[in-house]
Chain A
């Protein structure tokens, strides 16, 4: 029953239900259920990736151009037929990349949440329901289905932060939920407009893409959709939910949220916004390019001022998610490629950060940077991982972050035929300055925490990472290194699937008479 892609979506849900079925007293059992479930999911992800790769290469070989641009592993079931709604799932290179990211992050998230005690059963179940939504978003190609999964991914956050969070958790949870839900209201308006604007009303993304909407229509729908997705992608000035939310959330939730959920923004903006509305994108590219430049710099500058490790990482995430949107609105193939790589690499990187912060906090019971010092002596594993993540985030060649950021900046630098190149280049150069700022805050922050004299009385007794923690953080570090050393593996996976996006942009060029 069901193809592999459907299983990809329902496996976390089944795991969640299995956890709920276990008696609450047996803490060990449902931890293991969660681990086995997410482990199986990782295997399934591998299988899907392999299937995709095989089928796509075969197609590429027969057509001779080596491009595999269509959807694979498609499952299509009519749902509300009279309204053009169907259950349509499938994968292309971008979806596969995002699925791999999510699988890795949730697996590591379960590993590092091994010692959650309070209401652990509900915690793991909700976490897995959230992940169901995330996987659903990445594989659905019907906008109705897409939207259902999108909200399913957002809403469990309220309870996850509200119940298991720290600090002003109720405030943060409510702020996050309301801001994200308000943004999804915009997305809903956009989706319905797209549906009724098409000659044959349908929610099928691949069919909607056959149609080019009138310019006047595109120029109001595009900003609605882009801002709708931009809120979850931490677009300035709609990012304010993100630092509070991340700071209050428990470790695994921060990992998932910053690592994966914020990527839904970039993914949606690309898949729905730029793909369906290329002319609208062109109209608004400059505005959003300016906003994302502010995003990048503002996030980085704000991170310098933070004393709390979680706020520190959260602002750094705002800055890095700015790269994703910046790459997208560069509106050329290399920029979009950079955006997708950045989604992946930042997902891994920030998940690593939040996991490590959780581990450090579990030992020191403080997240305040100035209170710590010299911890590297006692917890060398955590320190090493933290440094690797930090170096990746400031774009050190050899790590994944470099690949992503270089693509994004190149994309911005090349610009596109619609906007004066001097403008895009200026903006790109301003944005590049953030690398320097990032270097300042990462090195200063980490230096304070892990180097210098150790407060023996307070931190002398600390022990290094346990086995599950080592496993969780080790996997993430390994992915960062692999991505940085052999980036072509990843590029080969995604770039062919970016062709349709670029083609749509090219068509728009021709229609508008620029070329």
Chain B
């Protein structure tokens, strides 16, 4: 029963969904802790069996340390998102909170199945399960034109990406005669048809992971969507994109990976450069974070340049760090938006005087995103860069490191607003709810300690290599 975590989330999703029918309004405040509890139980179950490998449904649903760690990251992203919405003043006004949380939980199930599936059909279905409900979440702020725009854009781009992906899968099936990922990979021959199929599949991956040139939806959707949804998109949904890319690159084409190096390097270079350069001119902090996330995706996929035993732990570790770091940033953005209704970078002026602790949280998280030591983000990036260096791509390391410097330039703009500019007359200390305090404390602890304490990386690394050894023997 190692698929119990999925069942827990499904059950919680259905319960929350129908709760709107019978639950009195004043009891709805129990929905966030309920969703959170489900996520906690699922994470607990996963952690208890973290080193297990198993197969279900005739090998179509696999459990391995890799899938387990991915699921932990998805659930963490989901749990943080629930924490952000809890106690939010704006969220108290939303209609049907039950639907909101159930949609969130269902996308989690989609992500969890995504990393566990081994054939094209279930891969596609779980990917859609993790994407389509998000269209609704992006447009959740009823009557807000930006939110509406976000929803529409997300639907249009998402549908296009999905169609391309499905076309690609179809061609792969046609050329190999099998839906099984490994069979498709093993029988892969470099025919023009296969190349077209791959190009189509990669555009689907690029959409989910916001890689340049498939990133165009990100800025508007990030800006318009409610802030917790933006946070969810940038963390959990991105992790799902990474999981999907794992399935394609390691799962399907693990054997031919050496041939991919240049493609990955080109995608990484484009994403980080474009993301960083456009981020410089942004004024809205959520748009800004969209471009920042695009560049982060560029760093992230550098892990695919190396072979699986090195790339997988480095990328998983970075994703874990990124989940904590980005959630810390979005926590502050959410809180500030909630209290003042402002989302412009310049609106953060003087925050270090009115709320020094929150400003410090933001500072540390931004430095972690920029890859400044000793924050966790640096350690994660260092491991990724190391993979590129090992493959002899020193130019890519240079590009990535220079990009980190550029990113520091724009992260410092926020720091400047918070620390160097003075607060305006009458700007007062803003209250922080206990839930928000807890969320920020947890995420900040992650930002500081994930990189310094070697435990987490070593754990991920050991589990994955142990499993790999076992897998190779089997």
Contacts and interface: CB of A to CB of B under 8 A. Distances in A.
A196 B420 CA distance: 41
A201 to B, nearest CB: 8
Given A182-B405, A185-B404, A80 B458 contact: yes
B409 A174 contact: yes
Nearest to B400: A185
A158 B415 contact: yes
A78 B458 CA distance: 11
B461 interface: yes
Contacts of B383: 83
A388 interface: no
B173 to A, nearest CB: 38
- Chain A contact-residue range equals 20 to 34
A81 B458 contact: yes
A189 B405 contact: no
Nearest to B397: A189
A162 interface: yes
A98 B431 CA distance: 46
A180 to B, nearest CB: 9
Contacts, number: 80
Interface in B392-451: 394, 397-398, 401-402, 404-405, 408-409, 412, 415-416, 419-420
B250 interface: no
B398 A185 contact: yes
Contacts of B397: 188-189, 192-193
A473 B454 CA distance: 44
A450 interface: no
A152 B373 contact: yes
Counting contact residues on chain B (CB < 8 A from A), the size range is: 20 to 34
Interface stretch (A143-151, A261-269, A317-325, A502-510): A143-151
Nearest to A78: B454
B408 to A, nearest CB: 5
Given A174-B412, A192-B389, A192-B397, A159 B405 contact: no
B419 A162 contact: yes
B336 interface: no
Interface string A178-193: 1001101110110011
A195 interface: yes
A239 B457 CA distance: 39
Given A158-B415, A162-B419, A182 B402 contact: yes
Interface in A153-172: 155, 158-159, 162-163, 170
A193 B394 contact: yes
B251 interface: no
Nearest to B402: A185
B389 A155 contact: no
Given A162-B419, A185-B404, A189-B398, A151 B458 contact: no
A155 B458 CA distance: 28
A80 B390 contact: no
Given A80-B458, A189-B401, A196-B390, 10 more contacts: A78-B454, A148-B374, A151-B373, A151-B378, A152-B373, A152-B374, A162-B416, A170-B416, A182-B405, A188-B382
Contact of B405 (A158, A178, A201): A178
Contact of B415 (A79, A82, A159, A186): A159
Given A148-B374, A189-B394, A189-B398, A83 B416 contact: no
A177 interface: yes
B367 interface: yes
A193 B404 CA distance: 18
Interface of A: 78-83, 144, 147-149, 151-152, 155, 158-159, 162-163, 170, 174, 177-178, 181-182, 184-186, 188-189, 192-193, 195-196, 201
Contacts of B389: 189, 192-193, 195-196
B11 interface: no
B35 interface: no
A216 B394 CA distance: 14
B386 interface: yes
Contacts of A83: 383, 386
Nearest to A180: B405
Given A178-B408, A185-B405, A163 B420 contact: yes
Contacts of A177: 408, 412
Contact of B386 (A81, A178, A196): A196
Contact of B409 (A178, A192, A196): A178
Nearest to B457: A80
Among B374, B402, B454, chain A packs the most CB atoms within 10 A around the CB of B454
A390 B254 CA distance: 66
A195 B419 CA distance: 38
Mostly, the A contact residues are helix
A178 B405 CA distance: 7
A162 B420 CA distance: 6
A463 B420 CA distance: 33
9 contacts: A80-B457, A158-B415, A159-B415, A182-B402, A189-B394, A189-B397, A189-B401, A193-B394, A193-B397
B394 A144 contact: no
Contacts of B454: 78-81
Contacts of B420: 159, 162-163, 170
Contacts of B412: 158, 174, 177
B372 to A, nearest CB: 6
B398 A144 contact: no
B385 interface: yes
Given A163-B420, A178-B405, A192 B457 contact: no
Given A159-B419, A196-B386, A181 B458 contact: no
B408 A181 contact: yes
Contacts of A152: 373-374
A193 B386 CA distance: 9
A405 B408 CA distance: 38
Contacts of A162: 416, 419-420
Q: 4 tightest A-B contacts by CB?
A: A185-B401, A192-B389, A148-B373, A181-B405
Contacts of B390: 196, 201
A48 to B, nearest CB: 23
A82 B458 contact: yes
A33 B408 CA distance: 32
Nearest to A188: B401
B270 to A, nearest CB: 19
A271 to B, nearest CB: 18
A174 B382 CA distance: 24
Contacts of A201: 390
B452 to A, nearest CB: 9
A195 B386 contact: yes
B109 to A, nearest CB: 33
Nearest to B367: A155
A245 B382 CA distance: 28
A147 B371 CA distance: 12
B466 to A, nearest CB: 12
A144 B382 contact: yes
A151 B374 CA distance: 8
A178 B402 CA distance: 10
A421 to B, nearest CB: 35
Contact of A192 (B367, B373, B386): B386
B385 A188 contact: yes
A438 to B, nearest CB: 34
Contacts of B398: 185-186, 189
Count chain B CB atoms within 10 A of each CB in A78, A82, A181, A186 and give the residue with the most.
A181
B275 to A, nearest CB: 17
Nearest to B388: A192
B386 A163 contact: no
Contact of B373 (A81, A147, A158, A163): A147
A195 B390 CA distance: 9
A102 B226 CA distance: 50
A159 B364 CA distance: 13
B460 to A, nearest CB: 11
B158 to A, nearest CB: 36
Of the listed residues A158, A170, A188, the one surrounded by the most CB atoms of chain B closer than 10 A to its CB is A188
B223 to A, nearest CB: 26
